[in-house]
């Protein structure tokens, strides 16, 4: 029997990269998965892979920063599943550029997706978690939120704010048996990082004590730990998965 047998997980940004890896890892451990992505094609693709593992899956395509859409979809999810045990807030975007040249639009879309989206999804399922007196909230932040990164003021700000949100939610819900934790990935090989130049990749590699880049499965394994029974007594924490970049 898997660690997440008979549990239902909602995962945003499930269409690719880290979210996709978490969805498949959770399904392999017995969870039924609600796959949320910006596009129907990506969410349906991941849902199909979950079903191929013998688990139930639902696919929804929304902009997580759209309050009305989040409300409507969360109601559909609750109606279809009856309960939710795990919420993984992973949806995120980047619009990199030096602050001096950064547009207000690029600032807004990153903060809206990465931070506001997490707020909206957490709020949407919080009442159910409280009623159940159980639930696991896992927010995917970044080491950029811990140490900053030149050219990513908007992204770093959104990911740093996620840590404050994670800890505040943990304090609000701890007495109800609900945990709220964050993951802070380092340099992970995904579509989001694929566009970096070879020169920049080499510079970053030199800053990683383990001298290798992480894989989405490394983050999925950490998410599984936080979702599992072994993390029952852990809340308000940040688990850094970065090969030693931040110590």
Angle at which helices 40-52 and 17-28 cross, to 10°: 20
Q: What percentage of the chain reaches a pLDDT higher than 90? A: 92
Higher pLDDT, 197 or 2: 2
Dist CA 114 CA 142 (whole Å): 11
214 with 186: CB under 8 angstroms?
yes
Q: How do strand 178-185 and strand 57-61 relate by DSSP bridges?
A: unpaired
Instruction: Kindly list the catalytic residues.
Output: 155
Q: What is the pLDDT of residues 16-46, one digit of tens each?
A: 999 999 999 999 999 999 999 999 999 999 9
Mean pLDDT of 94-106: 97
What pLDDT, in 10s, does the model give residues 69-84? 999 999 999 999 999 9
CATH class of segment(s) 8-241: alpha beta
The pTM of the full predicted model, rounded to 2 decimals, is 0.96
Does the pLDDT of residue 147 top 90, yes or no? Answer: yes
Domain definitions of the chain by residue range: 8-241
Quote the mean pLDDT of the chain: 96
Residue 194 has pLDDT above 90, yes or no: no
């Amino acid at each position: 029997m898997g660690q997440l047998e008979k549990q239902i997980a909602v995962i945003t940004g499930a269409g690719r990269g880290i979210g996709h890896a978490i969805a498949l890892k959770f399904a392999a451990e017995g969870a039924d998965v609600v796959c949320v992505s910006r596009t129907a094609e990506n969410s349906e693709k991941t849902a199909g892979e979950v079903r191929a593992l013998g688990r139930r899956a639902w696919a929804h395509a929304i902009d997580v920063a759209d309050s009305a859409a989040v409300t409507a979809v969360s109601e559909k999810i609750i109606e279809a599943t009856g309960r939710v045990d795990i919420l993984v807030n992973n949806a995120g975007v980047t619009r990199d550029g030096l602050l001096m040249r950064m547009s207000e639009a690029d600032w807004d879309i990153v903060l809206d997706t990465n931070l506001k989206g997490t707020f909206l999804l957490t709020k949407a399922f919080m009442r159910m978690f409280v009623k159940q007196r159980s639930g696991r909230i896992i927010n995917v932040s970044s080491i950029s939120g811990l140490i900053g990164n030149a050219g990513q003021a908007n992204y770093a700000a959104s990911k740093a704010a996620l840590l404050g949100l994670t800890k505040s939610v943990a304090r609000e819900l701890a007495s109800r048996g609900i945990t709220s934790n964050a993951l802070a990935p380092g340099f992970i090989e995904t579509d989001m990082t694929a566009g970096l130049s070879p020169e920049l990749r080499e510079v970053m590699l030199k800053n990683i004590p383990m001298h290798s880049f992480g894989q989405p499965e490394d983050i999925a394994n950490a998410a599984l730990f936080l979702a599992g029974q072994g993390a029952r007594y852990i809340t308000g924490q940040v688990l850094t998965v970065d090969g030693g970049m931040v110590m």
